[in-house]
Structure 1
């Protein structure tokens, strides 16, 4: 969480022209099953749930850069695992960044999710 907060502060320190985020309707996600090494590409619309293995991915927002800027994407997601104990918190809740996947990532023993782009 500290890294995500530092990234947010860094974004605030950039000039206004470098912060042009545009709301998008869906995200392309790369999903990895670490056990089988199966990689899948998921299209997740904002406001709907997508599934991968035992994960349910709820995409709350997806922001992309303006066409005249360096491509990037940021997606706010809540990811739950159906195999988790009842009442346990989500496996992930927060922003993921396409150009900085290590800043805020899903920490799961079996699955990995990464944002590729917003559309």
Structure 2
């Protein structure tokens, strides 16, 4: 048996699709955020620093580095990596809202 790779090679995405959920009224919304950009999702400011996906499987698992903060006072609710296939592993801790990663968009997907 050969050596086991520590991690699968990854490609950098140009944007990510994020889903927001308002846990009080059950509304959800999908938002595309460019790498280096921010978007408002249900009153939270979400900044995407990086999005990666498996090189061998562009539609596979996405890993996104997000910072989620309160627009009023700048309080940071989340700052770290979120994994699309395991949203509970590193989740936003907010009483009303939830945000998670759906997928990264590759440069080829953005151009089509």
TM-score norm. by structure 2 comes to: 0.82
How far off is 1:54 after superposition? Answer: 1.7
Q: Where in structure 1 are there 5+ consecutive unaligned residues?
A: 1-13
- Residue 57 (structure 1) shift: 0.3
Q: Deviations over 1:71-117 (max 9, x none)?
A: 1100001000125xx464x1000000011111100010110001010
Match of 1:20 in 2: 9
Residue of structure 2 equivalent to 1:30: 19
Partner of 1:72: 61
Equivalent position of 1:46 in the other structure: 35
d(CA) in 1 for partners of 2:59 and 2:41?
A: 30
Aligned twin of 2:109 = none
1:5 alignment partner in structure 2? none
Residue 37 to residue 69, structure 1, CA distance change in 2 (3 Å): closer
Taking the TM superposition and a 5 Å limit, the aligned residue runs for 1:101-112 are 101-112=87-98
Segments of structure 2 that go 5 or more residues without pairing to the other structure are 106-112
- RMSD across aligned C-alpha pairs, in angstroms? 1.9
Matched position secondary structure for 1:19: coil
Match for residue 85 of structure 2 among 94, 99, 102: 99
Aligned length: 102
- CA distance change for structure 1 residues 92 and 72 in 2, over 3 Å: closer, same or farther? same
70 and 30 in structure 1: CA distance in 2 versus 1, 3 angstrom threshold:
closer
More helix by share: 1
